A and B are shown apart, each in its own frame.
Chain A
C-alpha cells in the first residue's frame, strides 16, 4: 500500500497561451508510515505535487497509486470520495476554510461527509479539539471569534477528526508563534507514530531535520533528489548549488572548526551531544 508516482507530468491550462509545466516526469515511491518532507523553492512544483496526492489535480500523463486507488489522466471526479477519505490535504492558511456556527460543528464537517453518524462525528470532534490543545469550553463558540492560531488548530482538527491514513500538509506552521509551531509539529509527529503517513511541504529545514525520514527535493517541476535527510544535508556544495538552506544545527556545527563530529548533527539534540563529546575529549 505504498504511494507510487510513475512518470507523472502535469501541465497547467493545456492548449492555451498560458500553458505552463507544473510537474515534469516525476517518479518516486514513499513507504507507509513514513514522514516525508517536500522541499524546493517557490514555484518549484511542491504545491502542484501535493494536490496530486488526493486527485485535486489529475496528472496530464503518468499514473499514481495511492491508498488502494489508481489515479490516471482519465480519472473522473465521481469516485474520489473514497480516496479523499484516506488521503487528506491541509492547505496553507487552512483557517480560511472554517464556516460553521460552532467550532465543534466545523470539526465534525469532515467526519460527517465521510459517513460518520452525527454522534460519532461529535465524539471524534470533541476528542480532536482536545488533542490539538484547545480548551474544551470553546467547542460551542463561533470559530470566527477565535485568535488566528486557534482558528488554525480548529481547521487542522477538522482534518484529523476522520483520521486519514495519509496526511499532506502545506506549510502548516507558517504565521504561528514559535511555541505554537513546535506544538503543532509535535502533534503531526505523534500522528505519524500512531501509524499514519505524513507528507509535509515546507521551507523550514529545521523541521525537515527534526521530523522527516525521507525528503523529496523539487526544482522547476522536476524531482531532483530523493533521499534521507542525513544524506541530503551532508552534501553541502550540492545544497549551495541549488540555493537550499541547511538546518541551523548543522550550520552551527560547521562553524565550530576545531570540533570533530562523527555524523553531521542535524537537530539541536544531536548538536548538543556532539559538542559534549568534543568537550570531553
Chain B
C-alpha cells in the first residue's frame, strides 16, 4: 500500500523542474500531435534525439523512465506486432494465410513502437517533474477560456486540487481501518471471490463515513475562513513564465521546424 503514490512526482532540481507547469503541459499535449509529422527515418531519428535530450535534462535515473514504460510495454509490443503482420505492401518476406511480414510492415512496426515509446517517455518527463497540484493549476489555466461559456472553471479546479490533496489522507485512513478490522479477526486476503467481496464491507462503510466527515469538516473550515466560491480568489502558488520556459518553447519550435524540413512531402 505504501508503494501507491498519486502521480509519480519525484523531487529533483534540474532545469525541467524549474519550467512552468503550463508550458510543460502544453508542450506534452502538442508533442502527441507533432509526433505524427514524422514520416521517414530522418524525422524519427530527430524525434528520438530530442526526446532523449529532454529525458536527460531531468537528471533522473533511467529506471524512473523504465518504470513509466513498463506497465504498457505489452500494449506497445502488441500494437507493433499487429502492424508487423497486417500491413501489406513492399517486399514480402514471409506469408501464412492472412499474416504477412512485408518491408512496409517492418518499417511501420518500428515507427509505431518509437511513437508509442516516445509519447510515454515525454509524458513521464512531465509527470515525474511536476507536482500533481501544479498540473491541476496548469489544467485550470488551460480551461480558462471556457469561462466565456459560463463553465465554472474555478470550481472545477478547486475540486481537482481537493481531490488530489485527499488521496494520501484516504490511503492512510484505509490502511488504519484495515488494521483495526484485522485486529478484530477480519480477513482480507483469503477465501473465494464472494467471501472477499463480503469482507470488504467492514472496510468500505467506515471509509465512506470518515470521508463524509472529512468533507463536512473541510467545508466548515473553508466557510469559517471566509471562502466565498470563485470571487477574486488569490493564489499561493503563482505561475510565472521564466527563461526556462523560453528554452522549453524554443526547443519545441526547433523540433517542429526540423520535422517540417526533413519529412517526406
Interchain CB contact under 8 A, B183 and A96: no
Please choose the segment from B46-54, B156-164, B173-181, B221-229 that sits at the chain A interface, where 4 or more of its residues have CB less than 8 A away.
B173-181
Interchain CB contact under 8 A, A96 and B180: yes
Interchain CB contact under 8 A, A158 and B209: no
C-alpha spacing A138/B189, complex, angstroms? 33
C-alpha spacing A12/B179, complex, angstroms? 16
Interchain CB contact under 8 A, A84 and B176: no
Q: What B residues does A56 contact at CB under 8 A? A: 179, 182-183
Q: Considering the complex, which residues of chain A in the window 1-21 have a beta carbon less than 8 Å from any beta carbon of chain B? A: 12-13, 16
Q: Does A81 contact B (CB under 8 A)?
A: yes
Q: A96-B210, A99-B202, A99-B205 are in contact. Are A84 and B182 (CB under 8 A)?
A: yes
Interchain CB contact under 8 A, A109 and B187: no
Shortest CB distance A211–B (Å): 22
C-alpha spacing A89/B202, complex, angstroms? 16
Interchain CB contact under 8 A, B189 and A97: no
C-alpha spacing A84/B179, complex, angstroms? 11
Interchain CB contact under 8 A, B189 and A77: yes
Majority DSSP secondary structure for residues of B touching A: helix
Residues 16-45 of B, flagged 1 when their CB comes within 8 A of A and 0 if not, give 000000000000000000000000000000
Q: Does A98 contact B (CB under 8 A)?
A: yes
Q: What B residues does A159 contact at CB under 8 A? A: 183-184
Q: Does B242 contact A (CB under 8 A)?
A: no
Q: What A residues does B176 contact at CB under 8 A? A: 91, 96
Interface size range on A against B = 20 to 34
Q: What A residues does B209 contact at CB under 8 A? A: 96, 144
Residues 175-216 of B, flagged 1 when their CB comes within 8 A of A and 0 if not, give 011011111111101100000000001101110011000000
Q: What B residues does A88 contact at CB under 8 A? A: 183-184
Q: Does A78 contact B (CB under 8 A)?
A: yes
Residues 152-164 of A, flagged 1 when their CB comes within 8 A of B and 0 if not, give 0000001100100
Q: Considering the complex, which residues of chain A in the window 94-123 have a beta carbon less than 8 Å from any beta carbon of chain B? A: 94, 96-99, 109-110, 113-114
Q: Does B240 contact A (CB under 8 A)?
A: no
Interchain CB contact under 8 A, A99 and B206: yes
Shortest CB distance B179–A (Å): 5
Q: Does A85 contact B (CB under 8 A)?
A: yes
Q: Considering the complex, which residues of chain A in the window 53-107 have a beta carbon less than 8 Å from any beta carbon of chain B? A: 54, 56, 77-78, 81, 84-85, 88-91, 94, 96-99
Interchain CB contact under 8 A, A84 and B183: yes
Summed over the interface, the residue pairs from A and B with CB atoms below 8 Å come to a total of 62
Interchain CB contact under 8 A, A109 and B206: no
Across the two chains, which residue of chain A brings its CB closest to B187?
A81
Q: What B residues does A162 contact at CB under 8 A? A: 185
Q: What B residues does A89 contact at CB under 8 A? A: 179-180, 183
C-alpha spacing A81/B189, complex, angstroms? 12
Q: Does A48 contact B (CB under 8 A)?
A: no
Q: What A residues does B210 contact at CB under 8 A? A: 96
Q: Does B95 contact A (CB under 8 A)?
A: no
Interchain CB contact under 8 A, B2 and A97: no
Contact of A110 among B177, B185, B187, B204 (CB under 8 A): B185
Interchain CB contact under 8 A, B184 and A110: yes
C-alpha spacing A158/B190, complex, angstroms? 22
Shortest CB distance B6–A (Å): 14
Interchain CB contact under 8 A, B183 and A99: no
Q: What A residues does B2 contact at CB under 8 A? A: 12-13
Shortest CB distance A218–B (Å): 20
C-alpha spacing A252/B204, complex, angstroms? 48
Contact of B201 among A78, A85, A99, A158 (CB under 8 A): A99
Interchain CB contact under 8 A, A98 and B206: yes
Interchain CB contact under 8 A, A96 and B184: no
Across the two chains, which residue of chain B brings its CB closest to A144?
B209
Shortest CB distance B7–A (Å): 15
Interchain CB contact under 8 A, B185 and A81: yes
Interchain CB contact under 8 A, B179 and A91: yes
C-alpha spacing A99/B173, complex, angstroms? 14
Interchain CB contact under 8 A, A96 and B206: yes
Q: Does A51 contact B (CB under 8 A)?
A: yes
Interchain CB contact under 8 A, B185 and A54: no
A-B contact pairs, 8 of them (CB 8 A): A16-B3, A81-B187, A88-B183, A90-B183, A96-B206, A97-B184, A99-B202, A159-B184
> Across chains A and B, which 10 residue pairs bring their CB atoms closest together, nearest first?
A113-B185, A99-B205, A110-B184, A97-B180, A89-B183, A99-B202, A114-B185, A56-B179, A91-B180, A99-B206
14 additional contacts, CB 8 Å, given A54-B183, A81-B185? Answer: A51-B179, A85-B185, A90-B183, A91-B179, A96-B173, A96-B206, A97-B202, A99-B201, A99-B205, A109-B186, A110-B184, A113-B184, A113-B185, A113-B187
